[in-house]
Copies of this chain bind each other. A is one copy, B any other.
Amino acid sequence: MVTVNGVSYKNVQIHDPFWTKYRNLVRDEVIPYQWNALNDRIEDAAPSHAIQNFRIAAGEEEGNFYGYIFQDSDVAKWLEAVAYGLAATPDPELEKLADETIDLLGRAQQADGYLNTFFTIKYPDRRWSNERDDHETYCAGHLIEAAVAYYETTGKIKLLDIACKLADHIDTVYGAEEGKLRGYPGHQEIELALMRLYEATGDERYLKLSRYFIDERGQEPNYFKLEADKRAERFGRESLLAEGYYHLYKHNYEYNQSHLPVREQQHAVGHAVRAVYMYAGMTDVAAETQDQSLFEACKRLWDNVTRRQMYITGGIGSNHDGEAFSFDYDLPNDTAYTETCASIGLIFWAHRMLHLDPDGKYADVIERALYNGTISGMSLDGKSFFYVNPLEVWPEACKRPDKKHVEPVRQKWFNCACCPPNLARLIASLGGYIYSQSEHIAYVHQYIGSDTKLEVAGRHVRLSQKTNFPWDETIELAVSPDRPGEFTVAVRIPGWCEGAAIQVNGQPVSVEANLHKGYAAITREWKAGDIVLIVLPMPIERVYANPNVRVNAGKVALQRGPVVYCLEQVDNGAILPDISLSEHAALYARFEPDVLSGVTVITGEAVRGEWPGGDTPLYAKKKRIEHSVKIQAIPYFAWANRGAGEMLVWIRER
């Protein structure tokens, strides 16, 4: 097992035509909006009550708990996004707001370290009695992640102290030792959070607890069954939740991946966000403990997810019921669930895999999800969001009960507000996904205009990227060690790219000769001011799905660079499935500064059919009369920004 070190978001400055827009939206729109939401200051949105819950738990206000059982995590996710945001743009007023919120959290924390407003307010005697449903470790995990981020950015330890007290408390509750519950999370998240806490504090108890959760999961007899029996005995019923909520959990151990010990899991199953958060935690523990069998499980699950169960957009989880993985090759386009958060979780996991096994395939998936299935979750003005990211939409059909989860128009906020803050923290921490370093190698994973400083071969090396990626093919990478020396700069050659070319200081360098696991590894004597020019040709590609994906038979998807395209009704008229594209049709890419805040569009000629006459029959022997039409495809991530209409990724090919 190789281990490569990440480069923190803190040490990367992003100045990128594509991403700076998104990062500014998060800073200027999402984080302030979210703060108002948490404080119930948004008129036409469902109440959140999240801050008030903390006030009530702190004994500073009268009232009852309101919201989901995991409402606390919304505050934590906001704090985490704020932490990343402050690293990029200091903002004393925002930091003050965060500090005050942290103080409130401190006051709501119980003397024994426990911190969860639902139980403190409503059911102090039911703590840790229903890990399957109750999200206590889930909320703790998000709080820990926020604490580590806030500490990393600001150096302040108050929230980190709160998190440590909470983690210490959980360590007294769960574990293999006599007197502790042999449980593990019902919604995985704390596993990876504890690893971050371990990294931040060096306290091995957190590593040990995380590893315990992972090792214990799925052992027989199943903890959730034992816990349910005990609950029924103690409280006379199995769950505090209405039956409708917990039918997914009840007796369904695949739902939360506790059906088997994690090392025996062969296929990704169950709730997709739970799954990828867990896989990320498993990868962290495998890396830290050099646990080969755990890493093998991670690789097996990676192959299953990315080679059998992933949409071309980087979306995962094709089942609405359970927000869950389905089975191999079952990737329907119109009923896809593909939660924004699941794609984000896939990035978290891929990022960890990449550091354990520096292979471009992991960074390829990060790129696929970044430019497609994650940012599709947010409108171009940062004001509305998708939870669900389908690949084909007929707005009228969203009335169908089996498509009611598909929204043709982004929503302002959600009752269950996981996706917007998750996107905020991803985009605000984007700097952390661009570079890595090992002793002798500086890695460039993503092509995003940015600066950083690494330590390679005993030198401080400054890397600086300039690019108009993903629209332009060219990346200029300046490599400046503080003193000259031999080391390797490994730049990723994306899986979609053929004919990549590299020059160093104007001299061609063979990509082929230097290619290793998806990276062109250029080893030479580097000196300050060296310029690497990377050209990644971006012809419009026609991509086909594996024949096992039955719904995509005879269809083609258009992709240029990492960007997957789609047709929208506003450009192409209604009944998009009627459009078919000749195998040989010429297609043209053109950057349009005024379309969708500036995107490259693809245009070309395709064929449509028509039935002559007015009130046409439902079935007829006659074929439609075909005629040529101009089509325009736009990047998938930018769909649904011009009103409701049909959308289609997979186009019929003729």
Q: Which residues of A contact B (CB under 8 A)?
A: 306-308, 310, 312, 319-322, 326-327, 330, 335, 394, 396-397, 399-402, 541-551, 553-554, 557, 575-578, 580, 583, 609-611, 615-624, 652, 654
Write the nearest CB–CB distance from A396 to chain B, whole angstroms.
6
Q: In the bound complex, how far is the Cα of B402 from the Cα of A326, in angstroms?
A: 11
Taking CB atoms, residues of chain B closer than 8 Å to A551 are 577
Write the nearest CB–CB distance from A569 to chain B, whole angstroms.
12
5 A-B pairs within 8 Å (CB atoms) are namely A308-B618, A543-B619, A546-B617, A546-B618, A554-B577
Taking CB atoms, residues of chain B closer than 8 Å to A611 are 546-547
Write the nearest CB–CB distance from A16 to chain B, whole angstroms.
26
Q: In the bound complex, how far is the Cα of B307 from the Cα of A618, in angstroms?
A: 5
Contact partner, A547, options B312, B575, B615, Cβ 8 Å: B575
Q: In the bound complex, how far is the Cα of B624 from the Cα of A550, in angstroms?
A: 13
Q: In the bound complex, how far is the Cα of B617 from the Cα of A623, in angstroms?
A: 35
Q: In the bound complex, how far is the Cα of B306 from the Cα of A310, in angstroms?
A: 39
Contact partner, A397, options B330, B396, B546, B609, Cβ 8 Å: B330
Taking CB atoms, residues of chain B closer than 8 Å to A399 are 326-327
Q: Chain copies in the assembly?
A: 2
Residue picked from A306, A320, A575, most chain B C-beta under 10 Å: A575
A550 touches B394 (CB 8 A): yes
Write the nearest CB–CB distance from A227 to chain B, whole angstroms.
25
A578 touches B549 (CB 8 A): no
A545 touches B400 (CB 8 A): no
Q: In the bound complex, how far is the Cα of B539 from the Cα of A467, in angstroms?
A: 62
With contacts A310-B618, A553-B580 known, what are 17 further pairs, Cβ within 8 A?
Answer: A307-B618, A312-B619, A319-B400, A319-B402, A321-B402, A326-B399, A327-B396, A327-B397, A330-B396, A330-B400, A544-B623, A545-B618, A546-B617, A546-B620, A547-B578, A553-B652, A554-B580
Taking CB atoms, residues of chain B closer than 8 Å to A335 are 335, 402
Q: In the bound complex, how far is the Cα of B617 from the Cα of A306, in angstroms?
A: 9
Closest to A623 in B: B544
Q: In the bound complex, how far is the Cα of B547 from the Cα of A578, in angstroms?
A: 7
Write the nearest CB–CB distance from A331 to chain B, whole angstroms.
8
A400 touches B326 (CB 8 A): yes
Residue picked from A400, A609, A611, A620, most chain B C-beta under 10 Å: A400
A548 touches B577 (CB 8 A): no
Taking CB atoms, residues of chain B closer than 8 Å to A307 are 615, 617-618
Closest to A310 in B: B618
6 smallest A-B Cβ distances: which pairs?
A321-B401, A553-B577, A550-B577, A402-B402, A554-B652, A547-B578
Q: In the bound complex, how far is the Cα of B557 from the Cα of A578, in angstroms?
A: 16
Taking CB atoms, residues of chain B closer than 8 Å to A617 are 307, 546
